[in-house]
Structure 1
Amino acid sequence: MFNAQYFRTFITLVETGSFTRTARRLEMTQPGVSQHVRKLEQYLGRSLLERQGRRFALTEAGRRAYDYALKLFAEHEQFRHSLDDESLDSGECRLASPGSVGLMLYPFILGQQQMHTGLTVSYSFAFNHEIVSDVLTGRHDLGIVTEAVRHPEVDCEVWHQEPLCLVVPADFAGTGLADLMGIGFISYSDGVNHADVLLRRNFPDEFRSMSHFPRQGFTNEVSMVLDAVARGLGFTVVSRLVLETSPWQRQVKELSLPQPVHETLHLVTRRGSRMPRRYTRLLDAFRDHRRHERYGHGEPSMEVGAREGGGEAD
């Protein structure tokens, strides 16, 4: 029969190198330690030690059993901490977001994990509909999506907003809508919707529809769309998160527009579930970090007030 205490005794024996010291540390008798090892060997059907008088060496099976035991108890501790919803610094975080968010959020969370070693992170990059589906099936505890979700089994709330940026090649000299039509549009999954709301807000007398713009290409990976722009193939509209994390940000530029428009990010959880405090801490820390980065450089403060829709104007 499996007995975790046998594995615990075996770990201690390997670490101390002595039956006597093991018995002392575990407050057992030396015969008791020997009995645990024998029981473990019987359970596994393998000799774990090569005894050499009062000394011993691990067999190959013993080395593998020791490695397994370490992993077993590490996972046990991780699981035990994950049950503590009130813990800020430990437990597993299972979440997903589109690439436009995860490009900056995932590295930020990894930094938090480095500071709080009790945290573990399972992060998935996915499209909105995939995120909602995975939250419903329990694969993720939390999803971040760029559109409001209406579903009877889902709770959806506004979390954060990021500016949308009109991005053109670095040598682009135009300023108006006609100039943008001249180079064409590079699209991605949310590209058309983002471009529509931003251009409609800033060129109300001229803009009619994104269908009037020549399509110069499409990619389903938002992190790659600025590569096409950097090569002079067209313009696009992306979240500030994408622009700031792009390796091509020096080969493109953002056109300044008079009317700011923001992408609204929403948190999605299973209805009635209680989000552990470690998630709240991570999300609040990231949002505070973004506000400091943006407003610390003179950008006017903006409060989230809308509960629905992506790409909302303020």
Structure 2
Amino acid sequence: MFNALYFRTFITLVETGSFTQTARRLEMTQPGVSQHVRKLEQYLEKPLLERHGRRFTLTEAGRRAYDYALKLFADHEQFRHSLDVDSLFSGECRLASPGSVGLMLYPFLLGQQQMHPGLSVSYSFAFNHEIVQDVLAGRYDLGIVTDTLRQPDLKVEPWHREPLCLVVPADFAGSGLAELMGIGFVNYYDGLNHASALLRSNFPREFRSMSHFRRQGFTNEVSMVLDAVARGLGFTVVSRLVLETSPWQRQVKELDLPVAVHETLHLVTRAGSEMPRRYVRLLEDFREQRRQALSGFGELPAGP
């Protein structure tokens, strides 16, 4: 007999790689986990695991069963959430974004949840490629990414633009490319791309490549990169969202540049799906809040 619970147990087992951790996560006994796997193998009439003591590897049937189970639950979640697409102030909001966006968007969503208790927010901070996989697998309804993607199973559309900021230590006295090269560059995920775009637009004659800048370190957590800048270790280029939410914003400063360059944020959903109205409202409210905030800087990027 088909039992979705067996597939759920199997997914958790594959993801944890441990019967013990699976039992703990699902609040089951370890024999109960083993029984679910045996029942699933009996139902499919195929062995799913090759056991090696306490460890295991997947058989070919096991790999195919895992892929099918992911699709099964993704379709189930898509169906479940499609039933309440018309609700503006209630329902679960499952989304993911890079930290550069989530540092401000997640607190905004929590504020909305406080005002509308019917809302529930599940938010993941992740890199672009992880977000794509989560949306495809149905773990999240909506992703926000900083890259332009081409994926037939996804719908990708531009949503909002944020200015890029050239950030230097508070006591930095220079203004030109030579002085920036002198203090070096602090990198992070997307840092080189952002710096290249901003410097190329503002120093078209002098700038050649970021390879000419001394590297002063790297962090995969964008929210921490300004700590290094505040300590005088170099400069970086970040989205204004990062600068405005940084605890080190008073220990650094933004250099004024003649040419504005923006980072475009894209919405990612599964192809053919309808975005529930609560998402549309929340995204538009946040974008309007950002437009008003940016108007204080004299920056009003046109919305897509």
TM-score of the aligned structures, taking structure 1 as reference length: 0.70
1:304 aligns with 2:293: no
Paired residues of 1:99 and 1:221 also in contact (CA < 8 A): yes
Deviation at 1:80, TM superposition (A): 8.8
- Structure-to-structure mapping, 1:272-283, within 5 angstroms: 272-283=272-283
Q: 1:169 is matched with which residue?
A: 169
- Structure-to-structure mapping, 1:110-129, within 5 angstroms: 110-129=110-129
Per-residue CA distance 1:156-199 (angstroms, 9 max, x = gap): 00000000000000000000000000000000010000000000
Looking at structure 1, the residues matched to 118 and 259 of structure 2 have their Cα atoms a distance apart, in angstroms, of: 44
Deviation at 1:82, TM superposition (A): 8.0
Q: 2:30 is matched with which residue?
A: none
Paired residues of 2:135 and 2:142 also in contact (CA < 8 A): yes
Looking at structure 1, the residues matched to 156 and 176 of structure 2 have their Cα atoms a distance apart, in angstroms, of: 37
Looking at structure 1, the residues matched to 190 and 299 of structure 2 have their Cα atoms a distance apart, in angstroms, of: 26
Looking at structure 2, the residues matched to 82 and 153 of structure 1 have their Cα atoms a distance apart, in angstroms, of: 18
Q: 2:106 is matched with which residue?
A: 106
Looking at structure 2, the residues matched to 91 and 123 of structure 1 have their Cα atoms a distance apart, in angstroms, of: 14
Q: 1:258 is matched with which residue?
A: 258
Residue type at the aligned position of 2:298: E
Looking at structure 2, the residues matched to 211 and 80 of structure 1 have their Cα atoms a distance apart, in angstroms, of: 49
Unmatched 5+ stretches in structure 1: 1-78, 306-314
Residue type at the aligned position of 1:100: S
Q: Percent identity?
A: 77
Looking at structure 1, the residues matched to 286 and 268 of structure 2 have their Cα atoms a distance apart, in angstroms, of: 17
Looking at structure 1, the residues matched to 278 and 300 of structure 2 have their Cα atoms a distance apart, in angstroms, of: 26
Paired residues of 1:82 and 1:90 also in contact (CA < 8 A): no
| Deviating 4+ runs (over 2 angstroms) | 79-83
Residue type at the aligned position of 2:221: E
1:239 aligns with 2:239: yes
Q: 2:185 is matched with which residue?
A: 185
Deviation at 1:148, TM superposition (A): 1.0
Paired residues of 1:83 and 1:91 also in contact (CA < 8 A): no
Paired residues of 2:82 and 2:274 also in contact (CA < 8 A): no
Q: 1:141 is matched with which residue?
A: 141
Q: 2:284 is matched with which residue?
A: 284
Q: 1:61 is matched with which residue?
A: none
Per-residue CA distance 1:186-231 (angstroms, 9 max, x = gap): 0001000000000000000000000000000000000000000000
Per-residue CA distance 1:63-108 (angstroms, 9 max, x = gap): xxxxxxxxxxxxxxxx999831100000000000000000000000
Paired residues of 2:82 and 2:276 also in contact (CA < 8 A): no
Looking at structure 2, the residues matched to 87 and 189 of structure 1 have their Cα atoms a distance apart, in angstroms, of: 36
Residue type at the aligned position of 1:299: G
Looking at structure 1, the residues matched to 241 and 80 of structure 2 have their Cα atoms a distance apart, in angstroms, of: 35
Residue type at the aligned position of 1:156: V
Deviation at 1:140, TM superposition (A): 0.3
TM-score of the aligned structures, taking structure 2 as reference length: 0.73
Looking at structure 2, the residues matched to 231 and 205 of structure 1 have their Cα atoms a distance apart, in angstroms, of: 30
SS of 2:152 mapped into structure 1? coil
Go from structure 1 to structure 2 and tell me whether the alpha carbon gap of 1:82 and 1:117 turns closer, same or farther (over 3 Å shift): farther
Looking at structure 1, the residues matched to 298 and 227 of structure 2 have their Cα atoms a distance apart, in angstroms, of: 27
Go from structure 1 to structure 2 and tell me whether the alpha carbon gap of 1:139 and 1:147 turns closer, same or farther (over 3 Å shift): same
- Structure-to-structure mapping, 1:51-62, within 5 angstroms: none
Residue type at the aligned position of 2:170: A
SS of 1:195 mapped into structure 2? helix
SS of 1:192 mapped into structure 2? helix
Q: 1:206 is matched with which residue?
A: 206
Looking at structure 2, the residues matched to 286 and 304 of structure 1 have their Cα atoms a distance apart, in angstroms, of: 12
